[in-house]
């Protein structure tokens, strides 16, 4: 589906436009569906995005598709959402694909890669660069149909209980991070753990963790991370444009007629744009609040650290893409798109953003 059609449809939903659906779809009655998430119920930006997406689908369908949203732990345990949808225990999940790297490490290409695609670039690759077809091939054997549905944008590098001045500072560091970025840290000597979001702050306060990444100022401060660590580093090399997924049980997806499938695709694309704008706006506000409070040091990673991240990241991403035949196809497509769009980004947005600072 063309992006302009997706976004045009999303605009129609937002404007409250009326839709005409085939009579057979209406005759099927109300569909009661369960969506599980990997987000705490009180987490702004992620769980709230899942709820808003469910509500949008419900309103746009005239109430025929009713989706109940369950936060992490309410119906299934955190990080078990993929299995729940694959097996049919739940109908949909709202999560980040790198949580499911044990199924296939190639899933991470559709969430975020260290020094990889930004949110806009990933959306472009999935919808116009062949990514969706590859994603369908990857998820199909697991009985999953996946759609991009939200994005946090570029993330921060993480919270630390002490200052980091060189790559050697990561040796023995107990760090919470998911996905391919975690492997980069392991190769720097860090001890990496994966905890649900709700366990991060208590672990920092108790000393069980020395550092943790999460998202950005808005969601991080809502979780209270600024009360558990005093150093906040950027940029988020590991998640330059993290995107979330609406994963749908394949049988459920195929039970929808083409009109309802299109409606769900439109709603997911619209929520992606809306959620990215929401994160960018609120991160702006909460970064200013954090600066004004003055209790946390907001620091850029030293260039020596970033160079170490980049060198190791190139190896990690290449190894992820060197698996089975499908993983190699995904890696090749992703890397080719990344190379091409980096050239355009350099002469377009990067050049403009640099010039905007000249005054």
CB crowding 161-178: b at 16 or more within 10 Å, else e? beebeebebbeebbbbbb
Q: Which residues contact 287 (CB under 8 A, 6 or more apart)?
A: 216, 217, 298
Q: What percent of the chain has pLDDT over 70?
A: 92
Domain-embedded: residue 183: no
| Least confident residue range of 157-166, 189-198, 314-323 | 189-198
Q: Is residue 40 part of a domain?
A: yes
pLDDT category, 195, cuts 50, 70, 90?
confident
In this structure, what token pair is assigned to residue 162? 């002490």
Residue 69 lies in a domain: yes
Q: CA 199: distance to chain centroid?
A: 19
- List beta partners, residue 247: 93, 146
Encode pLDDT of 197-226 as tens digits: 889 999 999 999 999 999 999 999 999 999
Asked, for residue 296, whether it belongs to a domain, the answer is no
Contacts of 113 (CB under 8 A, 6+ apart): 180, 240, 313, 317, 334
Record the pTM.
0.88
The predicted-structure confidence for 102-153, as pLDDT tens digits, reads as follows 999 999 999 999 999 999 999 999 999 999 999 999 999 999 999 999 999 9
Q: What is the CATH number of the domain that holds 251?
A: 3.40.190.170
Residue span of the structural domain in which 87 resides: 3-153+241-280
Specify if 114 maps to a domain. Answer: yes
318 in any annotated domain: no
Say what the pLDDT of residue 13 is.
36
Question: β-strands 92-95, 31-37: how paired?
Answer: parallel
pLDDT at 246 over 50: yes
Total domains present in the chain? 1
Looking at per-residue confidence, does 95 or 9 come out higher? 95
Task: Give the angle subtended at the CA of 59 by the CAs of 56 and 65, to the nearest 5°.
Answer: 90
Q: Is residue 298 a part of any domain in this protein?
A: no
Decide if 47 is inside a domain. yes
């Amino acid at each position: 589906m063309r992006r302009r059609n997706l976004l045009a449809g999303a605009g129609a939903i937002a404007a409250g436009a009326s839709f005409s659906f085939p009579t057979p779809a209406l005759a099927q009655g109300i569909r009661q569906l369960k969506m599980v998430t990997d987000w705490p119920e009180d987490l702004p930006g992620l769980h709230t995005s899942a709820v808003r997406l469910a509500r949008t689908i419900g309103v746009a369908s005239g109430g025929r598709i009713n989706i109940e949203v369950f936060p992490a732990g309410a119906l299934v345990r955190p990080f078990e959402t993929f299995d729940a949808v694959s097996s049919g225990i739940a109908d949909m999940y709202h999560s980040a694909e790198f949580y499911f790297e044990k199924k296939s490490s190639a899933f991470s290409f559709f969430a975020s890669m260290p020094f990889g695609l930004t949110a806009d670039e990933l959306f472009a690759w999935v919808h116009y660069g062949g990514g969706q077809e590859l994603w369908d091939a990857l998820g199909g054997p697991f009985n999953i149909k996946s759609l991009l549905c939200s994005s946090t944008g570029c993330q921060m590098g993480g919270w630390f209980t002490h200052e980091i001045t060189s790559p050697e500072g990561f040796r023995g560091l107990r760090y919470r991070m998911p996905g391919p970025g975690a492997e980069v840290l392991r190769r720097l000597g860090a001890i990496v753990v994966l905890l649900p979001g709700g366990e991060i702050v208590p672990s920092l306060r108790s000393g069980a963790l020395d550092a943790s990444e999460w998202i950005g100022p808005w969601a991080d401060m809502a979780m209270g991370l600024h009360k558990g660590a005093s150093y906040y580093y950027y940029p988020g090399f590991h998640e330059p444009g993290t995107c979330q997924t609406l994963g749908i049980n394949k049988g459920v997806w195929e039970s929808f007629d083409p009109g309802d499938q299109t409606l769900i695709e439109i709603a997911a694309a619209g929520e992606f744009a809306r959620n990215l704008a929401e994160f960018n706006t609120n991160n702006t506000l909460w970064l200013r609040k954090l600066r004004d409070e003055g209790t946390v040091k907001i620091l850029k990673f030293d260039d020596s650290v970033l160079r170490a991240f980049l060198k190791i990241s190139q190896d990690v991403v290449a190894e992820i893409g060197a698996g089975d035949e499908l993983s190699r196809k995904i890696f090749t497509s992703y890397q080719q798109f990344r190379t091409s769009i980096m050239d355009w980004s350099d002469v377009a947005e990067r050049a403009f953003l640099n010039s905007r600072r000249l005054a």
